[in-house]
Amino acid sequence: MTDIVPTEREMEILKVLWELQEASVRQVHEQLEPVSGLHFNTVQTQLRIMDDKKLVAHRRDGRSFLYRALCSREQLSSQFLHKLYDGAVDQLVLNMISSENLSSKELAELEAMIAKARQKKKQSPKKGK
């Protein structure tokens, strides 16, 4: 994955590609247009730019190109964490918790996710600390 930080529009396109895994310009446009009002040609141009930046890759399918993301949500999250917080997960979590008005249910869900991650870490101790 490249070290390029996607723009807001590129992030919207990546979200569609993560959901669909692979999509034509038309399919991406159909997902984005109701929310963003973007024109077909704008989506097409944006995907070409993202291809040049190595954020996406394409393959030919008949007369169309099918695009797929070259980075995952996890990779971008990790990149963000390291750029903004120097890898300090605790600072990221503290900032997110304090900046959001989380309900008791949401906090309980976060605790459950942490417990699940802790359990997973115990089951594969060779992959990390």
Assess contact for 24 and 64: CB atoms under 8 A: yes
Residue-wise pLDDT for 25-39, tens only, equals 999 999 999 988 889
Q: What DSSP designation does 4 have?
A: P
Work out the average pLDDT over 10-34.
Answer: 95
3-state SS assignment for residue 66: strand
pLDDT at 127 over 70: no
Model confidence at 61: pLDDT above 90: yes
Contact 6, 14 (CB under 8 A): yes
